[in-house]
Amino acid sequence: MIATKPHISFRQEVQSPCGRDDATICFVGSAMQFPDTVLRTVQAEIGPAHTRREGSLAALDGPEFLQHHLCAIVVDEQNAEDLVLARAERHSSLGRASTLIAYMHQSFAEDLMQRHAATICSNMISLLPMNLNLDTWLSILRMTLAGGHYIPPELLSPPAPVHHPAQSSAYAATPGRGGEGDSAAAMHGLTRRESEVLVMLASGQPNKTIATRLELSEHTVKLHIHRIIAKLGVTNRTEAAVLYLRQQGA
């Protein structure tokens, strides 16, 4: 069973383009990662879209792909960086296809999120663990092909450090200010950016405003709030704000 409370969101148009007879779900990677049995299973369980396998994203620029309605692209770890870059640059070969990164190693996914969280979230690139049971794996794949965005919870909420309230001092009152506030943030394991988001969250500003002021996407702001909640050991954004305000008055 997978953990509860993953990051799941949906586009406005949730009707799956993979429901067309002429649609193609392309798996990009090695036959070891995506063997024929995987392609046949997806074809049988998720059709009527057809499945195929290519060795690299560059193959999608080939003339034969002009005749395909490419509805989804699933890449392995070796092609993950190329997919993130192509999405960031709005590469035309990807079109409006759903994009997923299938990974075997937790450490790989953690590193990818650490470096590319903003691009992954703002471009709705889903992260698909390959070590799940088949029913769960297929359910997540179906959801993303229907316009959803999935990121496993363990990639959003790292283990919270031990919290000692008596040792905590106030956070910085102004985002980005150095000194005592940064020390308190460090005690909770918050990064500078997470501390900035917390200050604005505690002042009652909505995600859209926070995103605008910090020049982030709303998806990235939500990701930061997930991490803040986990690191502070609270259950929601309101409790995080209350804890911050209490420490401000300490």
> What CATH number is given to the structural domain containing 182?
1.10.10.10
> Alpha-carbon distance 131 to 30, whole Å?
17
> Is pTM beyond 0.75 here?
no
- Quick one: which H or E segment has residue 219? helix 218-232
4-30 pLDDT, tens digit per residue, is 455 554 443 334 567 788 889 999 999
Residues 146 and 199 in one domain: no
Structure tokens, 245: 């305000």
Structure tokens, 198: 């917390």
127-156 pLDDT, tens digit per residue, is 999 988 888 899 999 888 888 888 888 887
Range of the domain at 78: 7-155
> What percent helix, strand, coil does the chain show, rounded to 5?
50, 15, 35
Residues 88 and 25 in one domain: yes
pLDDT interval class at 62 (50, 70, 90): low
